[in-house]
Each structure stands twice: as structure tokens, then as C-alpha cells.
Structure 1
Amino acid sequence: MITKLDLYKVFCQVGKSKSFSKASKELYMTQPAVSQAIMQLERELDIRLFNRTPKGVSLTNEGSLLFEYVNSAINLISAGEEKILEFKDLTVGELKIGVGDTISKYFLLQYLEVFHNKYPNLKFKIINGTTIELCALIKSGEIDIAICNLPIDDPSLEIRPCGEVRDIFVCGEKYKDLSKKKISLEEMVKHPLIFLEPSSNSRKYVEKFMISKGIKISPEFELGSFDLLLEFAKINLGIACVVKEFSRDYLERGLLYEVKTLEEIPSRSIGVCYLKSVPLSLASTKFVEILEG
């Protein structure tokens, strides 16, 4: 007997496939059985979920709304089933981590190596995104944990700091004289500035600090990549705001110079985040323990 959960699984697959025939192949069901399941669900809910056309199907407005919730619920159920399996001495399973490109490259890799050496049979799934995107992925059950720039203000998430970083200003050869003494923030903003794009948590943190000092920034360049900040500064396009810990190679090789300010930007944290309402899997727990070291 087909259950309500089975109906929702069929509904979710049809919504993804946009076709009864494609969904039937994914579900190993006949096409009539898929069609019958959707019609049964529509009868029970007393609403049309799909628009039928010769080219396939598309979700109605009501169907789209339902799909958002059902997809999240099924992902969470799948995550729960996987977590049960992981209790077999962590010999099977998958750890799904959300992280930004910069933190992935300069912070996460060392911990992934340690974890993989300790639990070689576990698979990793790394999903990149902004802090806002990663928080949404946690809530939908598509990732287990996220590693993000803090602060994050979300009461539904458990947030645990696991590393500290400092934002600094750097320049290339053209502005090297600025690195010979500490300068005021007022003097700093008179020069061409290179920042991450406004949606970045790192940018928001620095900008909030500077506004608290009565200084508004208007960058010449706003970039979506941390590595580009370093490269733009290196070729003398301006003074870049970067994370000191992630820029050591450029600084130690003399490719960039730190421009020190009279008022230093306070250090901030990198943290691991996960849902308060859902217990961490054993694999996630072990990985967080390694992060917190």
C-alpha cells in the first residue's frame, strides 16, 4: 500500500524531473503508477500541483510552495537515515560541508586531511556558497555543517568559533611608503581601495567597524574572490583589505606590504554552524572536535 510519504517522494521527483516518464525511471516505477500517485495526492490535498503539457509538467504556484517544504523534509529524512548508518564505527557515510571558497582554501583543507587520514572510508561532499546561502542549506538539510565567517545572527543555528583571523590592509610596490609607518583610517580611505563585494560577511564586518569610527568607504574595486584582492593589490591598483592569516605567502615573499593603521580592526572568528534542532551525526561531531582541536 502506498503511503503519504511515498506520494510525497513521487511528487518531489516529478517536481525535479519536470516529467512523469523521467521521474518513473528515477523511481523504478511505471509511468502510469507515477501519474496515479500524483493524482491521488492532488485528490487528497484537493488542489492541482502540476500543469500538464505535451512537453512535460511544471509546478503550479501551489505546487511550488509545497515542493519547497517537501524537498527540505525528504532531504532531512535522508540525512537522518545516513546518520544511523554512520554509527557503524564511521566505516560508511558522507559528511556534507558547506564553505566559502576562501575559507575552504586557506582554512579547511588542513582539517580535511587530518579527518580523512583518521576516517578514510567516509566520503566528503563540499558545497561552496556565501554565508547566507550556506545557512539556508543547513536549514534545508542539504549540508550537515557550514564553516563561515562570523558573526552570524540566526537563533536557529548553533555557532561555535573554531579559529581567529585579522583583517588588514595591504599594498604593492607603488604604495610601499604607506607601510613604513602607521596611518589613520581617514588617510587610508583617500587612496584607491579594493574590497570584497558588499554581500560578503568579511566586508560587512570591516565596513561596520569603519562606520563606527565615522568613516564611510567607497572602494574603487569590489571583487568576488579573495585571491583577486591579493592580485589587484600586487599590480598596484590600490590598497586591499584582506585576511592576514590567508595572505602570509604574499607578505613573506615581499609581493605585498602591510599598511598598518593607528586603529586596528578587531580580530574576528571563523566558526562552524549547524541546526540546533537536529543532533549532529557522529561524523559531524568528530569533524567539529578536530576543528576545535
Structure 2
Amino acid sequence: MISKLDLYKIFCSVAKVKSFSKAAKDLYMSQPAVSQAIMQLERELDTRLFNRTPKGVSLTNEGSILFEYVHAAIKLINVGEEKILEFKDLTTGELKIGVSDTIARYFLIPYLEAFHNQYPNIKFRMVNGTTLEICSILKSGEVDLAICNFPINDPALELKPCIDIHDIFVCGENYRKQISQPLSLEQLVKQPLILLEPKSNSRRYVEDYLLSKGIKISPEFELGSHDLLLELAKINVGIACVTKEFSQEYLTKGLLHEIQLTEEIPKRSIGVCFLKSVPLSPASTKFVEILENKLE
């Protein structure tokens, strides 16, 4: 049986050319098949749509009203299909990424640049937040991808680690003069510490590791920005726990100094995550490919 949409397409074709035979030729159908389709539609609507004459057909008043709406609807469907093809070809669309300010600044920008160079018509929308906040909006559908601090324990998410990172403690010149030997973790926590706020995944990772060693921390300062950690450590307010890979400029210029520990904090990673239950959009798929290819 012909679908309702196909019946309407045949109806529009006949209405445009005012002939069953011409419509049949345009649609690559037989004339009896076109005639049967129009009669089926008329039966379903219980309305005569065409006046039949030896010279062809013309729309009835009811047919003219229906044609106005059906023709507009089919045009919209065609436009929608064209848009889908554009999305597949990445000639239009939007890529929505959830990411923290720090990861965006120190990790993500080169990959955004590479993607934009290949697909300049795709727009970016960035949503900032902590790892927990970003994972929440990812599951709500507000973003396509999230670039987060791992580890993440969420069975709804597909996780792809990208780079390893290391949590270290840094200090300014004054503290460096006071600390001449590697510190144990027990000695470290007796220092005035500057850490990220408790809801940060980075903070939780370090805190959980120290707790696994029976060591509880009580920082002097809790901040929401990695850059602020670096700045406060630089002016000798205390000793800051930072990501080594995101602190290279300060370390290289001698503005900050890494404190040597007798026991290093195990490395972790930054990666991309997305919902297991929802297929990635073409733009998201290409962005993940760029991430993977540039990291090989």
C-alpha cells in the first residue's frame, strides 16, 4: 500500500501538471497507478480533489485548499532533507562542547583550530563548568561532547582518554629557600596549601589519594581557578596543587618551582566523553577523530 506521504506527493505532481499521464511520466509510474493513488486519497479524505475532463484535470475548491498546505509541507520536507545532507557533509551545523576554562585554554584550543580549518562553516558553542557540572549537562543533552578531568565513574558515558597529566605542588621563591629537601606527604600537608574548590574533580582526585594514605588535608585557600592557584603561589601565599602540564610557562620562567616529593601522586588523564546511548552527530564524530589523530 502506498504511504500517505507518497499519496500527497503524487497529488501535488498531478496538481502542478494538470494531467495524470504527465504526472505519471514525471514520477516514473504508470498512468493507472497514478489514477489509483488519487482515488485512494479521495476515498480516505472522502472528498473529490480533481475535476476530470477529456483535456486533463483541474483542482476542485477542496483540492485547491489541500494543495496549498500539502505543497508547502512537501517543500519543508525537501528543505529538511537538504539540511540533513548539509549536516552530513559538514557544510553547516553546530558543535556544542562542555569544558572547563582551564582545559579549554591549555588543551582544547589547538584542536578547535584544526577542526575550524577543516570545517569553517560549523559553529562552536562552549559551555563552561566543573567536570561534575559538565557531565550533568552532557546527560541532559545540552552539549554533544565533554572534555573533562578523569577519572569519571559513570556507566552512561563513553570515555576516551586523550593525554596524561600530573598533579604537582609548586611554590614561589620564598618557600623554595625554606624547602631544601624532598617532602613526604605528611610533611607536605603541614604547609599552607592552596587548592581548587572541593567540587573540582582535580581536587577530589588528589584529596582521595592522600586519604588512601591516611592523610587528611585542610587547605588555607580554596579557589575556583587554576590560574589563581599559580598567581597566589607566585606571591608566596602558600604552596599550590596544580596541573604540571598547564603550569609550564610559570615553571620554565622560574616564577614557580616544583616541590619534590618522596612519593609522587599517580598520573591521571584528560579525555573526551559522550553518551553511550546517543549516536554522535557528524560534527562530533569528526572532532573526536581530530583529537585521536593529532594525539597519535
Would the TM-score normalized by the shorter structure come out above 0.5? yes
Equivalent position of 2:97 in the other structure: 97
Alignment of 1:66-105 (within 5 A): 84-105=84-105
Equivalent position of 2:263 in the other structure: 263
1:281 has 2:275 as partner:
no
CA-to-partner distance for each residue in 1:249-283, whole Å, 9 max, x for gaps?
A: 00000100000111100110111111101111111
Q: In 1, are the aligned partners of 2:149 and 2:201 still within 8 Å (CA)?
A: yes
| Distance in 2, Cα, partners of 1:164 & 1:206 | 15
1:227 has 2:224 as partner:
no
CA-to-partner distance for each residue in 1:24-78, whole Å, 9 max, x for gaps?
A: xxxxxxxxxxxxxxxxxxxxxxxxxxxxxxxxxxxxxxxxxxxxxxxxxxxxxxx
1:127 has 2:127 as partner:
yes
- Identical-pair percentage: 70
Alignment of 1:1-293 (within 5 A): 84-177=84-177, 180-292=180-292, 293=294
1:178: Cα distance to partner? Answer: 5.4
| Distance in 2, Cα, partners of 1:221 & 1:190 | 14
| Distance in 1, Cα, partners of 2:150 & 2:163 | 10
| Distance in 2, Cα, partners of 1:83 & 1:280 | 17
3-state SS, counterpart of residue 284 of structure 2: helix
| Distance in 2, Cα, partners of 1:142 & 1:114 | 23
Decide whether aligned partners of structure 1 residues 261 and 88 sit closer, same or farther in structure 2, where only a CA change above 3 A counts: same
Decide whether aligned partners of structure 1 residues 241 and 82 sit closer, same or farther in structure 2, where only a CA change above 3 A counts: farther
Q: In 2, are the aligned partners of 1:170 and 1:259 still within 8 Å (CA)?
A: yes
Q: In 2, are the aligned partners of 1:138 and 1:274 still within 8 Å (CA)?
A: yes
1:83: Cα distance to partner? Answer: 9.2
3-state SS, counterpart of residue 89 of structure 2: coil
Equivalent position of 1:44 in the other structure: none
| Distance in 2, Cα, partners of 1:82 & 1:108 | 31
| Distance in 2, Cα, partners of 1:240 & 1:83 | 50
1:153: Cα distance to partner? Answer: 0.9
| Distance in 2, Cα, partners of 1:257 & 1:142 | 40
Amino acid at match of 1:96: K
CA-to-partner distance for each residue in 1:73-99, whole Å, 9 max, x for gaps?
A: xxxxxxxx9994554421100000000
Compare 257-266 and 81-90 and name the one that shifted more.
81-90
Q: In 1, are the aligned partners of 2:193 and 2:220 still within 8 Å (CA)?
A: yes
1:230: Cα distance to partner? Answer: 0.2
| Distance in 2, Cα, partners of 1:197 & 1:123 | 32
Q: In 2, are the aligned partners of 1:83 and 1:93 still within 8 Å (CA)?
A: no
1:190: Cα distance to partner? Answer: 1.3
Q: In 1, are the aligned partners of 2:174 and 2:236 still within 8 Å (CA)?
A: yes
Give the TM-score, by structure 2 length: 0.69
Q: How many residues align?
A: 214
3-state SS, counterpart of residue 288 of structure 2: helix
CA-to-partner distance for each residue in 1:125-178, whole Å, 9 max, x for gaps?
A: 011011122112112211000000011111111111111100000000110135
3-state SS, counterpart of residue 274 of structure 2: strand
Amino acid at match of 1:237: V
Q: In 2, are the aligned partners of 1:179 and 1:258 still within 8 Å (CA)?
A: no
Runs of 4+ off more than 6 Å: none
1:181: Cα distance to partner? Answer: 3.2
| Distance in 2, Cα, partners of 1:159 & 1:128 | 19
| Distance in 1, Cα, partners of 2:98 & 2:192 | 33
3-state SS, counterpart of residue 240 of structure 2: strand
Amino acid at match of 1:228: L
Give the TM-score, by structure 1 length: 0.70
3-state SS, counterpart of residue 127 of structure 1: strand
Name which one, 1 or 2, has greater alpha-carbon Rg. Answer: 2
3-state SS, counterpart of residue 95 of structure 1: strand
| Distance in 2, Cα, partners of 1:82 & 1:167 | 49
